[in-house]
Structure 1
Amino acid sequence: MATNAILLVMDMMNDLVHPEGAGANTYAARCRERGVYEATKTAIARARSAGIRVGFVRVGFSPDYRECPPSSPVFSKARENGLFKLGTWGTEVYADFAPQEGDADIVKHRVSPFYGTALEPLLRAQSIERLILTGVSTNGVVSAAIREGHDRGYACVMLEDCCAGATDEEHAHALSGLKRYATVTTAADYAL
């Protein structure tokens, strides 16, 4: 591949965005209302046709939840509710986005896609300089990726129509702060 960019599709997995997943009433509803599913498919198709790498970031824990922080307000209920268990349907990427052989698969145990993951070694090994970011939630993984990516020297691009918060207010609040650290555009308009 001749590009120095990667499109990261983050936490777009069944537990969160599938219409029958645990997030059906929150993230799946926002994704449907905002057109996130179609925009994300557009972003992936444009990246693939331009030779831009595609990677998927998923939150997940071992079946015994050994990596799950019990005091986390975000993850403390995962074990109790059987969410984010690796090797299950819930942690698979939503089928509409169809990961392909060779796509990066980054598993994380926290909100950040960088913390304790293989993401940065992958980016450095592939000479990636630009992160094109999508996913749920805008105020969670997308925000963390943009802020940490910025601080690590990456040019960050947020595809706003490929992101959602649990509420429209969460999305809007996150977006207002992220414009300082990233170029904000859409799936149809981002520079290849």
Structure 2
Amino acid sequence: MKDSIYLVLDMENDLVHADGFNGKAAYGEQVRGRGIIEKTRHAIDKARKAGIHVGFVRVGFSPDYRECPPNSPIFSGARKNGIFQLGTWGTQSHPDLGQRPEDFDIVKHRVSPFYSTSLEAILRANGIRRIYCSGISTNAVVQATVREGHDRDYEIIVLEDCCCAPSAEEHDNAIQGLKRFCTLTTSLDVHFE
């Protein structure tokens, strides 16, 4: 059994699909401009071929938003705009990424995929020691995954070309801040082990 997992972070329709809530906004422009969907799918295919686990992390709330923090600058717009509702198209992973039933599906209610989710139990049950990750956005879920994963003693590898933020500047700043905590690679150069 492999001791690695590729976590695809917040690549859900409300954030990255051209028809999603953010598809016409800054995230959508960055996703299309950087070719994030295509590069991420390429990385997923490589991970599958290498035989490592694949996990999809999604942010989502009950229809009444009972888990949504009312004072959060990040999540307060979810209730107002009717996005990130579990069980809807918006919280499904982008269809071009090819999520499979055997992939791990981790639902989170905060920025970090470790906070009050099944992620730690999944990692421990499967003997995972190395986390490859990428997603949206670099300065939120990717940063949280890297920093928390680092402090939980996982080896972290970020596929930089499969990540973006609302602007190129925010992405670049986030990547600069992560260099001390992880290894950076790309979807072309990554060697899943």
Using the size of structure 2 for normalisation, the TM-score is 0.97
Instruction: Kindly report which structure 2 residues correspond to 1:1-192, keeping only aligned pairs within 5 A, or say none.
Output: 2-24=1-23, 25-192=25-192
Q: Partners in 1 of 2:44 and 2:170 — Cα distance?
A: 25
**Helix, strand or coil: the match of 1:133?**
strand
- Alignment RMSD: 0.7
Unaligned runs of 5+ in 2: none
Q: Partners in 1 of 2:132 and 2:38 — Cα distance?
A: 17
CA deviation digits over 1:13-34, x for unaligned, max 9? 0000000111112212101111
Q: Partners in 2 of 1:90 and 1:115 — Cα distance?
A: 22
Q: Partners in 2 of 1:75 and 1:14 — Cα distance?
A: 16
**Helix, strand or coil: the match of 1:161?**
helix
CA deviation digits over 1:61-107, x for unaligned, max 9? 00000000000000011111001000011000000001112100000
CA deviation digits over 1:113-160, x for unaligned, max 9? 000000000000000000001100000000000000000000000000
Q: Partners in 2 of 1:149 and 1:190 — Cα distance?
A: 19
Which stretches of structure 1, 4 residues or more, deviate above 4 A after TM superposition? none
CA deviation digits over 1:11-60, x for unaligned, max 9? 00000000011111221210111121111011000000000110000000
**Residue identity in the other structure for 2:53:** R
Q: Alpha-carbon deviation of 1:191?
A: 2.2
Using the size of structure 1 for normalisation, the TM-score is 0.98
**Helix, strand or coil: the match of 1:7?**
strand
**Helix, strand or coil: the match of 1:78?**
helix
**Helix, strand or coil: the match of 2:73?**
coil
**Helix, strand or coil: the match of 1:132?**
strand
Q: Partners in 2 of 1:133 and 1:56 — Cα distance?
A: 10
**Helix, strand or coil: the match of 1:156?**
strand
Q: Partners in 2 of 1:102 and 1:88 — Cα distance?
A: 20
- Identity among equivalent positions (%) equals 57
**Helix, strand or coil: the match of 1:171?**
helix
